[in-house]
Structure 1
Amino acid sequence: MVGVFGEFLTTDPGDFERATQVNYFGFVNGTRAALKRMVPRDSGHIIQIGSALAHRGIPLQAAYCASKHAITGFTESVTTELIHNKSKVRVSQVDMPAMNTIQFNWVKSQLPHHPQPVPTIFQPETCARAVADVADHPRRRSWIGEPTVMTVLGNRFVAPFLDVYLAKTGYSGQQAPDKTEPMLPTNLYEPVAGDQGSRGIFSDQAKETSPQIWYTQHRGVSYAAAAGALVGGIAALAAGLKAKR
């Protein structure tokens, strides 16, 4: 992905279009290339990397948020076509929280301070394991991390509140005045030379896991435990009622 941090009206139209070409049409063309091979053999699994921002736009990232929203609609359309054609090809979308990737070192930014992901931040390896789990156990959609769940549900039920909240906090929440490391050259129009690694500069606050992420990767255990607790509760209730008699 590529990024353009800044208000919409001060973002160069060419930069906005380029970010859309990479972040959205990269998914479209990649999916087309994969399906041309998967559909004829009636087998395969495509995993689209979505985002909490595929469900809720935030200030200073209009191009990125719009692209992620578009990916969701595109994925839903393709899924319905595959179902209509009774294809065995699977499509999944994994919506990610903020990640401590190198992304925030080479985005094109108009901000006065170093750009940062909106906390809570997770290490990229944590999210990669979630994708691997979806590859092993295909499911239509996965929300990774409590912030993603709260963002998706919050936008469904209290969107006007989020408008005001993000207007007040979204600017400062995406800047890190304490990070003084120089930015890398922007990758908006061409790759940055060399291997920059997977982790960014926010390891001091990035989380390795969370209860929600553990749950998404251990649903069978969680369901069994819930079922056991339910049976135990019913048994205890029955025993109590029997004792009263």
Structure 2
Amino acid sequence: MKRRRSRVIVVTGASAGVGRAAAREFGARGDSVALLARGEAGLAAAAEEIEAAGGKALVVPVDVADHREVDDAARRVEEEFGPIDVWVNAAFAGIFAPFNQVSPDEFRRVTEVTYLGYAFGTKAALDRMLPRNHGTIVQVGSALAYRAIPLQSAYCGAKHAIKGFTESLRCELMHRRSAVRVTMVQLPGLNTPQFDWVLSRLPHRPQPVPPIYQPEVAARAVVFAADHPRRKEFWVGGSTAATLLADKIAPALIDRYLARTGYSSQQTDMPYDPEGPANLWEPADGKDGHDFGAHGRFDARSHAKSVETWLSRHRTALTAASLLAAGAAAASPLLLGRTTAPARGRRR
């Protein structure tokens, strides 16, 4: 079998959560992975994991909200590793609070990291990929890019913006017949450390909306999307598919449902500690050098596999199989009738 060529991968938000898990997944394949984030303790630990798995790692501390830092990071990656093959945008920031309790500066910061960080990362990647006519950009999205929920207005707005921005860019790449690809991976609620460090004004500690999936489920989908970028997007988790489809059918009903359940479903029974770590303005591991890793505190409640992810990855083959089955079912009465009908001229 032909051996797969090692690639150069850039992952933003690589110090924890989905970015950390995806970077590790790429590293296990022998890729050279550049790790971009603010949290240096998490970046250093992620680099150790990648190298232990057989890959190469490059730590590049960067605030993705600063386009100069992002472009400088891309330049450094190509100087040390060579041409970038895949760029994964996964960095984000958030705040859990009703919109009227979010300050303008806080809202701007979430938008700059979560939306503009993707735009700046995409721009840095395209500046290098387009002249070579080669490369893939993976936008780590969310079901919230389609169906917003209460208490996360800035994050939901940013994810909607990423979807629109990516669709516009995809059309531009198609217009110029570019071989550069862009795709999105829409995620469900995940067991990541963001719920340990997100700024919140809720009475109880925040949690992902159940059902909860492990970040490795998302990481495998990100790697698959990087390998198969011709698809518009990939859905991860049955809850993602159900949410997106239900919103198409009955959006007003979903509004009422979320108004009734959206507050309680995003909080645990434990009180929120306002003195705990918050990473909106500075990395949560900046004070004591604590590495948060890829997982949050919901391991016991999280799913390690997703049937919908498998279906999304094999959608083409399943569609072909369904068409063949439908064709066979449609043809079988004709064939049956042809074999059982009396032959012409046969005596009774």
Q: TM-score, normalised by structure 1?
A: 0.92
| Structure-1 residue corresponding to 2:105 | 14
| Structure-2 residue corresponding to 1:229 | 325
State the aligned residue count.
245
Q: Distance in 2 between matches of 1:233 and 1:78?
A: 41
Whether the 8 Å CA contact 1:105–1:183 is kept in 2: the answer is no
Question: Once the 2 structures are TM-superposed, how far is the Cα of residue 180 of structure 1 from its aligned partner?
Answer: 8.2
Q: Deviations over 1:70-104 (max 9, x none)?
A: 10111111112222222211010111111111111
| Structure-2 residue corresponding to 1:37 | 128
**Sequence identity of aligned pairs in percent?**
47
> 156, 173, 197: which one pairs with 2:293?
197
Q: Which amino acid aligns with 2:200?
A: S
Q: Within the alignment, does 1:167 sit opposite 2:259 as a pair?
A: yes
Q: Within the alignment, does 1:177 sit opposite 2:269 as a pair?
A: yes
| Structure-2 residue corresponding to 1:23 | 114
The correspondence of residues 2-151 of structure 1 with structure 2, limited to 5 A, is: 2-138=93-229, 139-151=231-243
| Structure-1 residue corresponding to 2:64 | none
Moved more, 229-238 or 79-88: 229-238
Q: Deviations over 1:31-59 (max 9, x none)?
A: 01000000111111101111100011110
Question: Once the 2 structures are TM-superposed, how far is the Cα of residue 230 of structure 1 from its aligned partner?
Answer: 3.3
Whether the 8 Å CA contact 2:137–2:182 is kept in 1: the answer is yes
Question: Once the 2 structures are TM-superposed, how far is the Cα of residue 211 of structure 1 from its aligned partner?
Answer: 2.1
Whether the 8 Å CA contact 2:95–2:154 is kept in 1: the answer is yes
Question: Once the 2 structures are TM-superposed, how far is the Cα of residue 185 of structure 1 from its aligned partner?
Answer: 0.6
| Structure-2 residue corresponding to 1:211 | 307
Q: Which amino acid aligns with 2:266?
A: Q
Whether the 8 Å CA contact 2:237–2:306 is kept in 1: the answer is yes
Structure 2 residue matching 1:39: 3-state secondary structure:
helix
Q: Distance in 2 between matches of 1:82 and 1:221?
A: 26
Whether the 8 Å CA contact 1:48–1:92 is kept in 2: the answer is yes
Structure 2 residue matching 1:94: 3-state secondary structure:
strand
Q: Which amino acid aligns with 1:124?
A: P
Q: Distance in 2 between matches of 1:106 and 1:30?
A: 24
Q: Which amino acid aligns with 1:80?
A: C
Q: Which amino acid aligns with 1:214?
A: W
Change (3 A) 1:183 1:106: farther
Moved more, 230-239 or 8-17: 230-239
Structure 2 residue matching 1:164: 3-state secondary structure:
helix
Structure 2 residue matching 1:114: 3-state secondary structure:
strand
Question: Once the 2 structures are TM-superposed, how far is the Cα of residue 137 of structure 1 from its aligned partner?
Answer: 1.5
Question: Once the 2 structures are TM-superposed, how far is the Cα of residue 153 of structure 1 from its aligned partner?
Answer: 2.1
Question: Once the 2 structures are TM-superposed, how far is the Cα of residue 124 of structure 1 from its aligned partner?
Answer: 0.4
Moved more, 25-34 or 235-244: 235-244
Q: Distance in 1 between matches of 2:174 and 2:319?
A: 28
Question: Once the 2 structures are TM-superposed, how far is the Cα of residue 236 of structure 1 from its aligned partner?
Answer: 4.4
Question: Once the 2 structures are TM-superposed, how far is the Cα of residue 178 of structure 1 from its aligned partner?
Answer: 5.2
Structure 1 residue matching 2:301: 3-state secondary structure:
coil
Q: Distance in 1 between matches of 2:167 and 2:316?
A: 26
Q: TM-score, normalised by structure 2?
A: 0.66
Moved more, 8-17 or 149-158: 149-158
Structure 2 residue matching 1:177: 3-state secondary structure:
strand
Change (3 A) 1:88 1:94: same
Q: Distance in 1 between matches of 2:121 and 2:331?
A: 53
Moved more, 164-173 or 210-219: 210-219
Structure 2 residue matching 1:92: 3-state secondary structure:
strand
